[in-house]
Amino acid sequence: MSGGSYDYFCSKVSDFIQQLKDNEEFYERDSKWENDHYPTVPRVWNREAKVWIEGEEAEKIIAQAHLERRWFMELLEHVATVAHDIEWVDSGDYGPGDEVFSLAKLKEFIKSTA
């Protein structure tokens, strides 16, 4: 058996990461709402308070969102590696315990960014 014991879940995670990366430019541009219906100043909708946040405060939130998204993508890259290794171990392509090394890297990443 060659991988695939979990329907290649690791590939789905990798595809999601790539889609997030592909959308980064759109995300930044769209946050400024540059069209005929909205002002060109950055705006963020605060769902809890049900108000728009604009200007410098919105720019700070958007910048923070970019950092958080990049962190999330990096986390998912580790998750995809772990998922790959577990899938290959469970399908018999890797030996038992081979996933421990990628799990250790994931744990180290989480500790180092907490």
Q: Residue 10: pLDDT above 70?
A: yes
Q: Tens of pLDDT along 41-70? A: 788 899 999 999 988 999 899 889 889 999
Domain boundaries, the chain: 9-113
Confidence class for position 23, pLDDT limits 50, 70, 90: confident
pLDDT of residue 82: 97
Q: Residues 68-74: contacts with CB within 8 Å, 24+ apart?
A: 69/20, 69/24, 69/27, 71/113, 72/20, 73/17, 73/20, 73/21, 74/109
Q: Residue 36: pLDDT above 80?
A: no
